[in-house]
Amino acid sequence: MRAAIVLALIALCTTLVFMYPHRMVEPGELSEAHQQTGNDCFSCHKPFGGLPNDRCIACHTLADIGRDTVAHAERPLFHEALEAMECVSCHGEHNGRSADLAPAGFVHDLLSAAIAANCVACHAKPADDLHAPLPNTCSSCHDAQQWKPAREFDHALLPIERRNDCASCHQEPSDAMHERIAANCTSCHTTDGWKPAHFDHTKLTQAEQNTCAGCHQAPSDAFHQSTKDNCASCHGTNAWSPSTFDHSAYFRLEGDHNAKCATCHQANNYDTYTCYGCHEHTRGNIMGEHQEEGITNIADCVRCHRSGDEDDAREGGEGGRENKRDEKGEHDD
């Protein structure tokens, strides 16, 4: 009994579908362009077979799609390359008379790998100076979701002659340092990033190499402010730190004299020093001892004393700190 009722209901529904197809199964009104099909659903639909492409192509020839429309007038016609895809993958119907049959956002994932890799088959390649020498593999920098922002640019895609002509794409810095550097950008910078750079100081003139402040700002701390020597006396061009300051060129820090800087250089003033304040040192006592030797200028101890060893004093009379002994401890002439 139940089976008979079910079969009767199925027969009734089937009959109603064939008699009143629009009222029973139509999901919505057809677009203006397809109103001419009237009630003939099977002009597009295949019974129990969906909506095959051949029904669409019977009216819409692939080679002519978009040929006369304003939207595609300046774009390559690409539907012929998509004949293996189902039309309904992108286009929909039954959305009302004024519905736009073109997809709101094209899903590139529907394309085969070969078509997806050949962007210029559908899109016009940019004609600017940057893109003109590049191959058609847009996916090297861009993705199908959006044109911008592009991924990090692979400079290996450029021809050799363009790789060495950075200014053809990039604006050259206008600061004082870059204006006088004639070498190519790649001498200091890499395509992985503008910073950090690796500047080759040998490209400078000898005068420029001896005038570091022409490019670099001098440190403002007390030690550097009191130092008149060129930066190269302590620092190298490969890195600012570590420095190579040689205190022995002034005074050898040995034994008890290997003390903190502030012991001799007071108030963070490294341009002056004092030996008074340690041991038996007093100005009166030291003056008396030196007068016995005929020395009256005791303002610059390291002029004669190169270490804490009293026997290491050298003859030289009275002079200034600028007369420094070399690392071997040789006496001045």
pLDDT at 218: 81
- Do 71 and 102 contact (CB within 8 A), yes or no? yes
pLDDT tens figures, 275-289:
876 766 777 888 888
- The strand pairing partners of 190, in sequence order, are 193
Return the pLDDT at 136: 83
Instruction: State how far the Cα of 77 lies from the Cα of 66, in Å rounded to an integer.
Output: 7
Q: Report d(CA 257, CA 319) in Å as an integer.
A: 23
Burial label, 304 (beta-carbon count in 10 A; 0-12, 13-18, 19+): buried
* Per-residue confidence (pLDDT) for residue 319, from 0 to 100: 38
The runs of H, that is alpha helices, within the chain are: 2-19, 21-25, 53-57, 113-117, 160-163, 176-179, 206-209, 222-225, 261-264, 283-291
> What's the pTM value of the predicted model, to 2 decimals?
0.42
Question: Given this model, what pLDDT does residue 321 score?
Answer: 37
Domain boundaries along the sequence of the chain = 2-122, 160-212, 247-312
> What stretches in the chain show pLDDT beneath 50?
70, 72-73, 316-333
pLDDT number for residue 73: 45
Residue among 294, 307, 301 nearest 321 (CA):
301
What was the pLDDT predicted at 320? 37
- For residue 47, what pLDDT is reported? 81
Burial (0-12, 13-18, 19+ Cβ within 10 Å), 51: middle
Task: From residue 17, give the alpha-carbon distance in Å to each of 20, 27, 41.
Answer: 5, 13, 11
Angstrom distances, CA of residue 11 to CA of 4, 19, 25, 259: 11, 12, 16, 108
pLDDT at 279: 66
